[in-house]
Amino acid sequence: MSKDLATQLIEQLRAAGVQRIYGIVGDSLNPIVDAVRKTGGTVQGGIDWIHVRHEEAAAFAASAEAQLTGKLAVCAGSCGPGNLHLINGLYDANRTGAPVLAIASHIPSQQIGSGFFQETHPDRLFSECSVYSELISTAAQAPRVMHCAIQHAVGFRGVAVVTPPGDIAGLEAVAESPQQTAYTPGRLSPDPHSVQLLADAINAVDKVAIFAGAGVQGGHDEVIQLAEAIGAPIGHSLRGKDFIQYDNPYDIGMTGLLGYGAAAEGINDADLLILLGTDFPYDQFLPRTRTAQVDRAAEKLGRRTDVYGDVLLTVAALIPLVKRKKNTRFLDQMLKKHDRLMNKAVGAYTRRADKLVPIHPEYAASLLDQVASRDAIFTADTWMCNVWTARYINPLGTRRLIGSYLHGSMANALPQAIGAQLAYPGRQVVSVSGDGGLVDAARRNGHRRSPPAAAEHRSVQQLHAGHGQAGDARRWAARLRCRRTRHQLCRGRHGHGFSRRQGHRPCRH
């Protein structure tokens, strides 16, 4: 039985394990949307269409799903302005290393190059924010392009963009689809000579500090073991927080624009700083001391004493080569200073704060940490929401905290929360949104109305750092325990406190 090309492309996505596509229906996208409809949705083993009201939200939602699951996620936009709206979220996904495939439909193929209504060139536009971007020109070419897009997104951990003109997508399929095989990422073993050079550098100095990024994922215990052997305090980046801060007796916080604790002083006073799984772009926050870097991204190496390889395998190979440092004075000093700073500076905002009107936002964040589920997923808007979640949310090794950490976009938290909740319907998801983020979300979604996806999955919690009346944070925090309602907490009139949104009834679940 014959089938149209759009159906064939959607079958390829199903074979790749895709369960949902985020997007907005549009005329040039109609064959794709109809092919999704024919699958019957996930209840029938097919693909769900997740309707959003702005394509940027679709890209952020897909990015969050891909980041949290590690699997391919898909978004879609119609020709011209439709898919152009995807670009901000796709930039974020690509920089974060999220395997996302975007279907950017095009104007009728015979009109390309004529200045037609809504004409853009998606295959060129998205080239800077993707690892693969290709125009589908014929029905015979299409299945191979889709296959390549899937493999690039999953293999290179980035964005792949497929651009099918609407008329091409409606043609009859004429070529077989390449066989979809499971992709299992390999590990990158370091060169033994490079590991020995790093061990020699560690053994030659008295004071060593570790700064860990997202690349330490999966290597928590080995990094802790290394730190214990060489008496090294461990600072971390914001993206590394999830993977190294928990169960870590050597933690000294973060450095950088959102820094706290003793991390800045700890890495500045070290004789050798080891960067594990992070390139940390802020030179002004790095010491003028000898620095070594372990990373599997070869393009980020060559500026320091470097080891090319996975953090886990490199650290495991390094531990037997380093000499245990008997003098732990440097480590002890940094831990004592970190404890003092956390209690004096960071902790000061949360002590006796329940009597303040309006209350400190830091106090609200600390309450959020206390009442949220042990496996909660947090999404945070850029800037102050990042500061509060970075300082007061404890990852526990079971929670996740994501945001627009490398791209720095605003209004990312709410659409990311939608993607997270759809990917994990049984987990609590908390969106820590700034006033600008929610205003932008309201603009996209029709004033005070919630996005359609959020309306269907009401366990998404919204913590709103905006403007409002003073109120009771403890009462709000108790409500957060309920997964079946959504509540918001708002910043005070003068921008330095939180309060409960008017009109929210007490939770009775």
| Residue-range domain boundaries for the chain | 5-169, 192-344, 350-500
Torsion sign across C-alpha atoms 197, 199, 202, 204: negative
CB 142 within 8 A of CB 154: no
CB 428 within 8 A of CB 375: yes
Q: Give the C-alpha separation, 425 to 143, whole Å.
A: 32
Q: Give the C-alpha separation, 498 to 37, whole Å.
A: 43
Looking at per-residue pLDDT, the higher value among 370 and 182 belongs to 370
5-169 and 192-344 agree in CATH topology? yes
Mean pLDDT on 452-478: 52
Looking at per-residue pLDDT, the higher value among 310 and 451 belongs to 310
DSSP-assigned letters across all residues of 150-192: HHHHHHHTSEEEEE-BHHHHTSBP-SPPPPP--------PPPH
Looking at per-residue pLDDT, the higher value among 231 and 282 belongs to 231
H or E segment and range at residue 241: helix 241-244
CATH class of 5-169: alpha beta
Q: What is residue 153's three-state secondary structure?
A: helix
Query: Is the pLDDT confidence value at 132 over 80?
Result: yes
Mean pLDDT on 341-362: 73
Mean pLDDT on 365-374: 93
End-to-end CA distance of the chain: 52
CB 379 within 8 A of CB 421: no
pLDDT in tens, 59-75: 999 999 999 999 999 99
DSSP-assigned letters across all residues of 35-94: HHHHTT-GGGTS-EEEE-SSHHHHHHHHHHHHHHH-S-EEEEE-TTHHHHTTHHHHHHHH
CB 200 within 8 A of CB 322: no
What integer pLDDT is reported at residue 505 of this predicted model? 36
CB 167 within 8 A of CB 173: no
- Classify domain 192-344 by CATH number: 3.40.50.1220
Q: Give the C-alpha separation, 395 to 401, whole Å.
A: 7
Query: Is the pLDDT confidence value at 103 over 60?
Result: yes
Categorize the per-residue pLDDT at 456 as very low, low, confident or very high, splitting at 50, 70 and 90.
low
The residue among 167, 29, 174 whose CA lies nearest residue 109 is 167
Q: Give the C-alpha separation, 276 to 304, whole Å.
A: 12
Mean pLDDT on 111-133: 95
Spatial strand order of the sheet with 20-23 comes to 48-51, 20-23, 73-77, 100-104, 159-163, 132-135
What integer pLDDT is reported at residue 472 of this predicted model? 42
pTM: 0.87
Average per-residue pLDDT in the chain? 86
Strand partners, 199: none
Amino acid at residue number 328:
T
Could you give phi then psi for residue 379, rounded to 5 degrees?
Answer: -120, 140
DSSP-assigned letters across all residues of 310-360: -HHHHHHHHGGGSPPPS--HHHHHHHHHHHHHIIIIIGGGTTTGGG-SSBP
pLDDT in tens, 217-248: 999 999 999 999 999 999 999 999 999 999 99
Query: Is the pLDDT confidence value at 502 over 70?
Result: no
What integer pLDDT is reported at residue 7 of this predicted model? 97
- Tell me which residue has tokens 């439709």: 82
Q: Which of 225-229, 443-447, 460-464 has the highest mean pLDDT?
A: 225-229
pLDDT in tens, 396-427: 999 999 999 999 998 999 999 999 999 999 99
Q: Give the 3-state secondary structure percentages of the chain, helix then strand then coil, rounded to 5.
A: 40, 15, 40
Q: Give the C-alpha separation, 24 to 122, whole Å.
A: 17
Q: Give the C-alpha separation, 58 to 55, whole Å.
A: 5
On the 0-12 / 13-18 / 19+ scale of CB atoms within 10 A, 472 is middle
Peptide bond into 451 cis (omega under 30): no
Q: Give the C-alpha separation, 29 to 166, whole Å.
A: 6
What integer pLDDT is reported at residue 442 of this predicted model? 65
pLDDT in tens, 146-172: 999 999 999 999 999 999 999 999 999
Q: Give the C-alpha separation, 189 to 308, whole Å.
A: 8
According to CATH, the superfamily of the domain at 350-500 is Thiamin diphosphate (ThDP)-binding fold, Pyr/PP domains (3.40.50.970)
Percentage of residues in the chain with pLDDT exceeding 70? Answer: 85
